Structure 1
Amino acid sequence: MTESTPYQELTVPVPGGELAVLHWPAADPGAPVVVAVHGITANALAWAAAARLLAGRVHLYAPDLRGRAASRTVGGPYGLARHADDVALLIAHLGAGPVRLVGHSMGAWVCALTAVRHPEAVERLLLVDGAVTFPLPEGVAEDDVLAAVLGPALARLSMTFPDREAYRAFWRQHPAMADWTAELDAYTQRDLVGEEPELTSSCVPEAVRLDGGQVLVDPEAAAAVRKLPCPAELLWAERGLLDEPQGLYDAGRIALADLPIPAAPVPGTNHYSIIATEAVAQRLLG
């Protein structure tokens, strides 16, 4: 398996505690700074493959959002705007603004909000399979859509695992993660908390449900992609969260959205694999 790229760990003070942040340093101290924001039940190691592809040409910083992984003890309030303000505090703490900002899935909504709420912090923005909201069909409940979209990701929050190997086996059955790597292994293991035989996901259920609901219906989050104060682009995956043929977006949905920013598919990717591609890395370098 491909070995993970070494990283450093730091913490950043935010309201309610300290946000855990991973840093993959650049060979050149003066290289550009990229801040990368993960999805709703993910963690900072979601960006490990991107760090390998970037190959030390940028300083890459990725936080564990509050309520996840090593930031799980940073309590509420949760919500997309709170995460956006946390990202802005991280950038200010680094003294690095304006930065190149990239967000995946829910992280794309967070990054769009960060740019709108803190325009001085963001040089340009890359949105990856997220940030474009469509109205819920009439009569469809928010909880039902959240469960349908997140599926196994939500289910695992209430599951208990006897050991780390059992959690590894759970993830290796995921249809969107057929190509298992050391990076995926480390990413999934970072999510575990507790002691054997009662290991659980680090994700705080309240945070996931509140954040997920806002992705679906929050007007500020939905409007952010249309109010961006900086250059931006959307990349979308051809396939879905379970590697199904229908992704979150397709050419028809993107056309219907009539976005004010360019949008392009990344062929051969699903919702998870898209962030481990040269397409993402090259846009962060360009």
Structure 2
Amino acid sequence: MPARYRRTSVPVEGGDLAVGVWEPDGDAVGEALLIHGVTSSHLAWAHIAALLPGMRLVAPDLRGRGGSREVAGPAGMAAHAADMVAVLDAFAMDAPLVVGHSMGGFVAVVLADAAPDRVGRLLLLDGGLPLGVPAGLTPEDLVATVLGPTAARLSMTFADTAAYLDFWRAHPAFARDWTPELEDYFAYDLVESGSGLRPATTYETTAEDTVDLHTGAALRVALDHLRVPTTLLTAPRGLLDEAPGLYAAERLEELLRLYPSVAHREVPDVNHYTLVMSPRGAEEVAPDLLAAAGARSEEGAGR
């Protein structure tokens, strides 16, 4: 049964959050809230959604991104978590599986602490546990260290959509994985800027979230309180398709010792982006997502 895709909006403090929804025509076999990364949008989930036509998948654009770029007010993990509660309310989602990619994983962890009765399970995709970043960096250096060229492009202007697609075609992360879904995803990212186009996410929003994620208290407190069944999937390569990925082996071992309740699996032959935004990555992740949502449904039925 193919999934139907639509876009809607949910009121939050400061404006309306854009939300993409994939849902079957009949009864859903499960549901999940999908939270994207720091400069991304809900269309990052298109490949995974295509493999889960029987599920209801609710995927917001975080404030400051995509169709939610004009939502006013501060960002940060706590603000995003509050927005996610509003989305759960709007769709009458009762403690579903929450899936977070990259920064979305950190938002998911903070959400599980802020509203523990609203989250059934967590599936973290290359995010959610602290990265190994040197202490004492300035905000600018922190953003550059964590995001590198991903942050630099936020200040760039492109003549047209084709020029932006050419920029990403040359990116090493997508050398083997260019798809029509990616073209839709990148085109959706663009907004008018003078005589050209620029990414919807601003550098200022990215910096605010990146600094809060690494230096704020919300994530550390949330991890100390983590009680929700949690699985972490990691990619062996990073944002530029380099090895190691965001979680080098020694760092990951340390984190799994600190948080022994977190189950872990490395997804082979993907990078930080293609873990989610490629057919290969989606084929690996979709069964984990379906299994986690099914586990949640069985737990709910047993209560």
After the TM superposition, list the runs of 4 or more consecutive aligned residues in structure 1 that deviate by more than 6 angstroms: none
* Alignment correspondent of 2:251: 253
- Aligned partner of 2:266 in structure 1 is 265
Q: 1:135 to 1:183 in 2, by over 3 A?
A: closer
User: Any idea what SS the aligned residue of 1:256 has?
Assistant: helix
The answer for the alignment partner of 2:233 in structure 1 is 235
- The amino acid that maps onto 2:223 is V
Q: Is the 8 A contact 1:132 1:222 kept in 2?
A: no
Q: Does 1:279 align with 2:276?
A: no
TM-score (norm: length of structure 2): 0.88
CA distance in 1 between partners of 2:216 and 2:62 (Å): 19
Counterpart code for 2:287: Q
How do 1:18-29 residues align onto structure 2 when only pairs under 5 Å count? 18-29=16-27
2:32, 2:99 within 8 Å by CA — same for their partners in 1? yes
Equivalent in the alignment of 1:182: 180
Query: 8 Å contact 1:131–1:222 — kept in the other structure?
Result: no
- The one-letter amino acid of 2:271's match is N
Code of the aligned partner of 1:268: D
SS state at 1:34 partner:
strand
Distance in 1 (CA, whole Å) between partners of 2:139 and 2:160 is: 34
Aligned residue in 2 for 1:199: 197
Hey, what's the Cα distance between the residues in 2 that align with 1:136 and 1:241?
A: 15
- Superposed CA deviations along residues 24-48 of structure 1, whole A, max 9, x for unmatched, are 1124324311110000000110000
Return the alpha-carbon distance in structure 2 between the equivalents of residues 40 and 221 of structure 1: 15
- Counterparts of 1:34-53 in structure 2, within 5 Å, are 34-53=32-51
Q: 1:129 to 1:223 in 2, by over 3 A?
A: farther
Shift in Å at residue 277 of structure 1? 2.5
Q: Please, which moves more after superposition, 192-201 or 154-163?
A: 192-201
Q: Residue 76 of structure 1 contacts residue 207 of structure 1 at CA under 8 Å; is this kept in 2? A: no
Residue type at the aligned position of 1:273:
T
Aligned residues: 282
Whether the aligned pair in 2 keeps the contact of 1:135 and 1:217 (CA below 8 Å) is no
- The answer to whether residue 147 in structure 2 is matched with residue 150 in structure 1 is yes
Shift of the alpha carbon at 1:119? 1.1
Q: Aligned to 2:216, which of 184, 206, 218?
A: 218
What percentage of aligned pairs have identical amino acids?
42
Letter in 1 for 2:24: A
Structure 1 unmatched runs, 5+: none
Q: Distance in 2 between matches of 1:141 and 1:223?
A: 23
